[in-house]
C-alpha cells in the first residue's frame, strides 16, 4: 500500500511534468530562437516548425502515460476512486467520460482493469 500523496506525486513526475516540458520546450525554443535573428533562415524556420506539433505531442504523451500511471497506482492505494477524484481535481488526469479520457491509449484489457479499479464497470 502507498499513500495517495505518493501516488499523486508520481503522477506529477511521470504524467504532468513531461507533458508540460514537451509543450514548453518546443514552443519556448521557437519563441527564443526565431525572433533572435541569430540563426540562418532555414534553421530558424525549422525551429518555428518544431513548435507546431507541440500541443499534439504533449496530449499524445499524456494519452500514453495516464493509463500507465493508473494501472500502477490504483492497485497500490486503498481507495482508487478517491485517488482518481484528487488527480482529476489537480488536473493530472482527465475527468471520466471526457474526450481526453477517451483518447487514452491502452489495450482493451488494460481499459477493463482501469474501469474495474475505479468502480465504473
CB contact burial 97-117 (16+ within 10 A = b; e otherwise): eeeebeebebeeeebebbeeb
- CB count within 10 Å of CB 22 equals 20
1 grid coordinates: 500500500
pLDDT along the chain (121 residues), means of 10: 95 97 93 83 87 95 97 95 95 94 96 93 80
What are the residue boundaries of the structural domains of the chain, listed by start? 4-118
User: Which pTM value belongs to this model?
Assistant: 0.88
Amino acid at each position: 500500500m502507498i499513500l495517495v500523496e505518493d501516488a499523486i506525486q508520481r503522477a506529477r513526475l511521470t504524467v504532468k511534468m513531461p507533458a508540460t516540458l514537451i509543450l514548453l520546450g518546443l514552443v519556448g525554443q521557437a519563441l527564443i530562437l526565431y525572433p533572435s535573428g541569430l540563426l540562418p533562415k532555414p534553421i530558424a524556420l525549422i525551429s518555428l516548425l518544431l513548435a507546431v506539433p507541440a500541443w499534439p505531442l504533449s496530449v499524445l504523451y499524456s494519452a500514453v502515460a495516464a493509463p500507465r500511471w493508473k494501472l500502477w497506482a490504483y492497485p497500490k492505494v486503498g481507495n482508487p476512486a478517491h485517488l482518481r477524484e484528487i488527480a482529476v481535481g489537480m488536473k493530472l488526469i482527465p475527468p471520466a467520460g471526457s474526450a481526453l479520457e477517451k483518447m487514452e491509449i491502452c489495450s482493451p484489457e488494460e481499459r477493463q482493469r482501469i474501469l474495474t479499479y475505479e468502480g465504473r464497470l
